[in-house]
Chain A
Amino acid sequence: MTTSTPRSPEAAPLLELRDVEAGYGPFRALFGVSLSIPPGHVVALLGSNGAGKTTVARVCSGLVAPTAGKLLFEGNDVTGVRAYRIARLGVAHAPEGRSVFASLTVEENLLLAFRVDLGRKLAPEAVARAYELFPRLGERRKQHAGTLSGGEQRMLALARVLVNPPRLLIADELSLGLAPIVVEEVYRTLGKVRDEGAALLLIEQHVKHALALADDVAVLNHGQVNYYGPASELGDLSERLLPAASNGSHA
């Protein structure tokens, strides 16, 4: 643990899933998932492909409405509430893959977000700060975001949460397809976001990285949570649980 302030697990959870079931049309992806994220905590969500990690992220941000169970934000029921309302509560979701508007320029991508978060007056200032943090984006401000490389797109997505940290950041496979040196940088950035007081829900293939940052770990297998507890206590279990989770899809 590298964090300075100790966190008590008894604090009221920022976001909580209770027995959530969800899916896509006839396909069910989650079978009664319960998970709670305390304020300022970093939770790593691990599991094999197809275990339902992305669906958990989508339920948390309101993109997918649960078919059963409840979603609570600071104790208030937000089940079935539209995504934009949940976003306004301070939940930022960087979805897997491309998470920027390809048809807008870099600057427009930033303005779009900052005008919602901070209002028209403060937005240009925030954009300027984003360029300070990522000079590469400043060089490409007039370029369409779709023409950026994968790493630059990820920077653009991160620039927003760095300048204006959310209460909860859901990061789905942020390091996917990035060079090791960029992955390092992404994790440094996530560390900064955490230090500013944001809670994180990390979905990762790079278990090593995720565990280095996480307070708690949830292991998902076939749409159900197999293990949920402090990352430090995962220890021996990790050997047993993680390969099992990885093998899940071949069972």
Chain B
Amino acid sequence: MTDLITYVLRGIPFGCVFALVAIGLVLTYKTSGVFNLAFGAQAYVSAAVYYDTHVRHKWPIIPAFVLAVLVFGPLVGLVLDRLIFRFMRTAPHVARLVAALGLLVAIPQLVNLWFGQSPSFGVEGIWPSSQGSNFAVYHFGDYALNGDQVATLIATAVVVIGLTALFRFSDIGLRMRAVVESARMTELSGINAGRVGTIAWMLSSLVAGLAGVLLAPLFAQVSATNFTVLIVAAIAAAAFGGLTSIPLTLLGGILLGVAQGLLGGYLPPASVLAQGLRPSLPFVALFLLLIFWPSLRNRREVTDPLAGVDPPPPGLAALERSRGLTWATRIFALIVLAIAIPFVLSSNYWLLLGTEAVILSTIFLSIVVITGMAGQISLCQATFAAIGAFTTAQLVSNYHVSVMITILAGAAMAAVVGALLAIPVLRLGGIYLALATFAFALMFESVLVPLDWVGGGANPIKVPRPKFAGIDFANNKSFFFLCIAILAVVSVLVIFVRGGTIGRYLDALRGSETAAQAIGVNPTRARIIAFSLSAGIAGLGGGLLATQTGIAQPADYNSFLGLFWVVLVVTLGSRTVEGAVQAGVAFYVVDEILKRIGINQSWQPILFGLGAMTYAKHPEGILEFQKRQSLAFVQRHLDRMKRRGAPAEPAGADEAGAVAPTPAQPSSERVGAD
């Protein structure tokens, strides 16, 4: 019995850590409508500043704390709002999530550039008496707290009371919530939505900074990944509070801490369960909460009634351009290929990069299916690739099956897992789906990957190259062509599915889910197919990647790498096959270019991360946008030439088909314009 009380009490300070972070997430979500996965990155900025000033430059605690938390915290919020989120106030929730993902990728790299690669700060608590190795210990009856824990408890209490008061009694709390629902309608009430939004970001960033500085002593090393993992763990507590209630979030955080304390106390420390389950408990909890917690299930986001003020999103350039131009584009692509392939074949180095780019493009096609076609953000594509890779490796090493078959088996396994995951997860929409898939990715990584029969334990499993039809693909050149062939087959498959019945259903569902159901489209079936297909493609690519590198290495399928993949594809263009291929090539080419011109390679994630901000403006992708611009340019010139050739033909004769609207043409009779 006393054991139980001790374990519970020991869990409470940890619970407050979760609670503090989770409250920060809830605060950002409530006041800016962004589910801020970059919260950890923001916390990291303040932590880095604090330890740089306090530990490296020996500043006293108070000025260092003031600079890091009270100055840098709000400053980061101000910068983020002015540069990015100001322009996203009317963007859909998913666009804002993508922007936050981009920041999650970009900010830590920027901080590392500033303070030097992988900063390893001396880790000291903020509580004045806890400096050095002599941690102050406070006794409460039988139970002892150290200075950092006391600081966390006090900070959590202050934050909870302060924010509750803010939302209950102040004008600004009410205004922040109004701005989140509709910035435009708030302006109609005479409120400067821009200023309210900026204050919201500064406030939530301040809380992030506070959390960052307070929590840094928990980790052996101050690194962005540690913070981000903590954030994801804390999402479970935020989900417990329905992403809105601060007291419930506090309770959720404490429950999580206590549960971890109990697990730590009662499970034998060396057992698989203790090693796997305890650290992954938050992810398991998040996953289960998202699926079963009634306040989150079937939750719909409130939409802005004035969204019609925005111009409508443009369609795909490929659907609007004329047949001639489509062929011209294809011929152009062939020419590029004809130049690129001999170049890639010219050296082993380029061949390696080229093969990996082709395999990555295949994996990226899975993002085209789930995000571009089905309109869902899935954050566990790397996990599906890992499933493909591990299935391949395990089958080859244990049963000595031919590699080509095991790759297909890996794809099938990933597809099955994808379908099984889809059934509970697809009921959730938008950001909840994204979170559930991410929780799944982390669960897989922390529970299953370390197991011998999955990830191979301490020694990753070797995978040989395939051998069939009399060709030994151990030869890098023939393997390169094999990968190209597979990419081509998958591309054709994706194009067929997009044009076929399921593709049309997905288009309809993206347009209006209720209307699609009203004509008899089963949304669950269509989406499960899309999810499973996407998982299968990712699994196929994962198996290929393991074959290429010769080893099924968990690090190649890290879930944070998966986040970066999504950011990259969505930024460049997730609607088309070209988009995936361009993203796959860009992943390596940009890296290579940076290396050649002597710029630090961490600019690559920074570039792509910040590039994700364009998602709100160009949800079809930057490349797709550029393509449309150039197509419009070419079309204009073609039209002009045609007119010169045949002056009898009237200029604006567009009755025959859908032509991109030209600004000069009166098209006032649009849905939503009036």
Q: Which residues of A contact B (CB under 8 A)?
A: 24-31, 49-55, 58, 61-64, 82-84, 87-88, 92-93, 95, 97-99, 101-104, 108, 111-113, 115-117, 120, 146, 222-223, 249
Contact = CB atoms under 8 A, between A and B. Distances in A.
Indicate the member of B312, B670, B674 with the most A CB atoms within 10 Å. B674
Interface in B618-674: 661-663, 666-670, 673-674
23 contacts: A24-B673, A25-B312, A26-B311, A27-B670, A27-B673, A28-B666, A29-B670, A50-B669, A50-B674, A51-B668, A51-B674, A55-B674, A62-B187, A83-B188, A84-B187, A84-B189, A84-B192, A95-B305, A103-B302, A104-B181, A108-B177, A113-B189, A116-B189
A58 B311 CA distance: 14
Contact of A31 (B171, B186, B666, B670): B666
Contacts of B189: 84, 87, 112-113, 116
A103 B311 contact: no
B182 interface: yes
A73 to B, nearest CB: 14
Contact of A223 (B175, B663, B668): B668
Contacts of B302: 102-103, 146
B192 A103 contact: no
Given A63-B309, A108-B174, A29 B674 contact: yes
Given A31-B666, A55-B673, A88 B190 contact: yes
B144 to A, nearest CB: 44
B184 interface: yes
B569 interface: no
B185 interface: yes
A42 to B, nearest CB: 20
Nearest to B672: A24
Contacts of A27: 311-312, 661, 667-668, 670, 673
Nearest to B301: A103
Contacts of A25: 310-312
Contacts of A113: 189
B486 interface: no
A93 B186 CA distance: 11
A87 B663 contact: no
A122 to B, nearest CB: 14
A31 to B, nearest CB: 7
A63 B171 contact: no
Given A26-B311, A117-B190, 4 more contacts: A26-B667, A27-B312, A101-B177, A108-B177
A145 to B, nearest CB: 10
Given A61-B188, A84-B190, A52 B181 contact: no
B496 to A, nearest CB: 32
Contacts of B662: 26
A87 B188 contact: yes
B179 to A, nearest CB: 10
B66 interface: no
B190 to A, nearest CB: 4
A82 B194 CA distance: 10
A112 B190 contact: no
B674 A63 contact: no
Contacts of B667: 26-28
Contacts of B309: 24, 58, 63-64
Given A84-B192, A97-B305, A117-B190, A103 B177 contact: yes
B178 A249 contact: no
A101 B185 contact: yes
B272 interface: no
B251 to A, nearest CB: 22
Nearest to B663: A26
B37 interface: no
Given A24-B312, A95-B188, A50 B670 contact: yes
B306 interface: yes
A89 B310 CA distance: 25
A24 B673 CA distance: 8
Contacts of B174: 104, 108, 111-112, 115
Contact of A84 (B177, B193, B306, B666): B193
Nearest to A248: B669
Contacts of A62: 187
Interface in B299-333: 302, 305-306, 308-312
Contact of B188 (A31, A92, A102, A104): A92
A79 B661 CA distance: 27
Contacts of A63: 184, 187-188, 306, 309
Contacts of B191: 84, 112, 116
Nearest to B660: A26
A116 B302 CA distance: 24
B175 A28 contact: no
A24 B182 CA distance: 18
A120 B174 CA distance: 13
Contact of A52 (B184, B193, B673): B673
A243 to B, nearest CB: 17
Contacts of A99: 185, 305
Nearest to A123: B171
Interface string B369-390: 0000000000000000000000
B177 A54 contact: no
